[in-house]
Structure 1
């Protein structure tokens, strides 16, 4: 899947630069067109001439060294690349990219690029675990960068732990898998619900929940990256849409979400209901702010419509996926939901588990299809969980056909 791809390899300074040489060679052998950008620090470990010989292309090290007077090199390289790979990516270069710093050829080119960017970190284990580095990686992942996690083992500094640049063969395998998945949903229409709902009490107060919409937005973005046209129906959230394949539809209440999900349902191929919708709402909504009164205040609540069940009753050819966010016997409740609501699959998670709660950047889930075949997805970023979910959905769609 990398054959004839234009791959821009960005090499920053660290002892792992020697692995980037092997990576360049292996990518070239697989038929990729490789061009290399090196930082000044990287050039202290390995000569640019080495990468030039391995890639059979000029190596770029200086923003102001314009090799072709008719082109601006960092813009031309950014436009040329089908994908960009930063390997090794030091803590310094990750920090620069995450904060929009463009002070050399590598960082300037990255800011100018619209291509998929893969980052393979390499650094000391304590540097990798530093809160600043973790925050920078989290920010980049939110922006759509893909991370190839470092391996664990003996490091050049003498420590043993996570931080070693992943092996070239593994990096290439990740690139090939991602490229093969890029068109997985081509031609599909995907409908996703995300975020919480708000159920009004009076002009000042409302009932809601802890959902931030991160999982639903991750699902929408991954679906778009895989070639789908996506409609995202979302409750109030600070999450942003970053792909023009996504049509965002904002709602506030459970009733509004019910109406909008049904509006787009019939034209959808895959429907994933990841939103945390209120099960109850106040029976009476006050037009004026309720004033404080002596004693207790009892409020009567009424059930909202069961959106997922109603979609299950309507579905014809849609592949319908629900989410079960539970805190007690999640698998049991999830399987019950799968059957009762006529779903094709359920994604079950225990929101009380560390790394899987509302607002977290990671998730831990179990995917179960209608044949009760289970797939455990261990802790990973919500983007990576979303990617794995679509691979499983595609598998089950192919099995049905």
Structure 2
């Protein structure tokens, strides 16, 4: 088991880009149209963003658009008479906490590998002491070319960070690797890059989403869980340096960057997946809304409507939280309690009865909070105390909860 370092997180969000200065370099490729959204995604996380464009990038998106979104004039000229001492590349290089080049085209990557300083974007990359991150974007055949692969390998050996590319349909009509990562993914990776690593070295398993208990081949019993809280916890934990395994019921959510995801349907499948990988986990968070009961006998064929009423025999599902908490040694085990009334009474009972280290309770009867909502509020209980986490977005809440977990894991 690892020892974790406590970092105090503020109530207005912990994993964020507040006060971070990101110089966004835009190369001349069709993916430049995504850069407008990327500026917005970075800024909404608190970053101060300035933009430097290659001259070819202006053929795909106008500097005026990016100036309006960033709030700063777009830099393009190597020697800018408006810049201090007319040396804009040095000013920007000193200013940035990160140079993020997205899209990084094949041509731009080749020029960076050669150490060229032929325009402002390449010169800034040479002049900065800040980390340089490249988000490749090009035709799949160009990406696969040995020259491009050699260029990328060389830049990686020079400690430039590569994010992507993704794979899929491309503007040219071809399909394959070479797509620039989506702006939301890039912004999340930037958050992770700067996040305090309070979970560095820790292994953490999270269950998320609903389970589905089959009635017949076309019907099932389930609940309203969207999985958003569990996925926010996985995203936040990964950003804090944890090795995260996410055991997920059926949801319509993207896997957070850096997270290992295991998809399941039923409660039994979720238990099997948890037990298969629980050894060595430091923290277990049972955030999934697991069905308490399943059908005693699942029909092999579709049940036909034949009478006015129908009875289904139910049997109790395995208790995943209690099973994990009963292990010896056990991980620091955190449960969730979604209640509609007497929240504290039921949460404290669950804490004791299942031998949990901590439980996060929420009142799902409050409109706009809990299931399927983007916000939530929690009251967190442990053996000797409690703390309220007021309503906020689920990612902020996830960071606050993880901070509490680390605090009480280190000081039981």
When normalised by structure 2's length, the TM-score is 0.61
2:374 to 361, 383, 388: 361
Q: Structure 1: how far apart are the matches of 2:318 and 2:23?
A: 52
Where does residue 405 of structure 2 map in the other structure? Answer: 393
Q: 1:311 aligns with which of 286, 299, 324?
A: 324
Q: 1:57 aligns with which of 72, 91, 106?
A: 91
Match of 1:277 in 2: 290
Distance in 1 between the 2:380 and 2:86 partners?
Answer: 46
Deviations 1:245-289 (A, max 9, x none): x11111111111111112222220000000000001111110011
* Structure 1 unaligned residues grouped into runs of 5+: 11-19, 28-33, 85-111, 116-138, 148-174
Deviations 1:106-163 (A, max 9, x none): xxxxxx9959xxxxxxxxxxxxxxxxxxxxxxx977875599xxxxxxxxxxxxxxxx
Shift of 1:54: 12
Tell me which of the two structures has the higher relative contact order, counting C-alpha pairs closer than 8 angstroms and 6 or more residues apart: 2
- Paired residues of 1:312 and 1:341 also in contact (CA < 8 A): yes
User: Equivalent of 1:255, from 254, 268, 290?
Assistant: 268
2:299 is the counterpart of 1:286: yes
Q: Match of 1:183? A: 197
Residues matched between the structures, number: 297
Q: For residue 341 of structure 2, what is the aligned residue in structure 1?
A: 328
Residues 193-242 of structure 1 show CA distances to partners (whole Å, capped at 9, x for unaligned) of 01111101111111111111111111111111111111111111111113
Q: Note the aligned Cα RMSD (angstroms).
A: 4.4
Q: Distance in 2 between matches of 1:342 and 1:314?
A: 10
| Other-structure match for 2:211 | 197
Please give the alpha-carbon distance, in whole angstroms, between the structure 1 residues aligned to 2:86 and 2:391. Answer: 39
What residue number does 1:384 align with?
Answer: 396
Unaligned segments of structure 2, at least 5 residues: 1-6, 8-18, 25-42, 53-62, 74-80, 97-102, 104-110, 134-160, 165-181
Q: Counterparts of 1:317 and 1:297 in 2: how far apart (Å)?
A: 42
Tell me if 1:296 matches 2:309: yes
Aligned counterparts of 1:338 and 1:277: Cα–Cα separation in 2: 17
Aligned ranges 1:201-216 → 2 under 5 Å: 201-216=215-230
Inter-partner Cα distance in structure 2 for 1:394 and 1:229: 15
Indicate conservation of the 8 Å contact 1:6/1:82, yes or no.
no
CA shift digits 1:357-394 (9 cap, x unpaired): 2111111111222222x121111111111111111111
The match for 1:241 among 255, 263, 271 is 255
Q: Distance in 1 between matches of 2:162 and 2:123?
A: 9
CA contact (8 A) 2:229 2:287 kept: yes
Q: In the TM superposition, what is the alpha-carbon distance from 1:395 to its structure 2 partner?
A: 0.9
- How much does 1:347 deviate? 0.5
Which aligned segments of 4 or more residues in structure 1 are displaced greater than 6 angstroms? Answer: 50-56, 139-143
1:294-345, CA deviations, whole angstroms, 9 ceiling, x for partnerless residues?
A: 2211111111111111211114251100000111111111111111111111
Distance 1:35 1:284, change over 3 A: closer
CA distance in 2, matches of 1:332, 1:69: 68
User: Any conservation in 2 of the 1:199–1:278 contact (CA below 8 Å)?
Assistant: yes
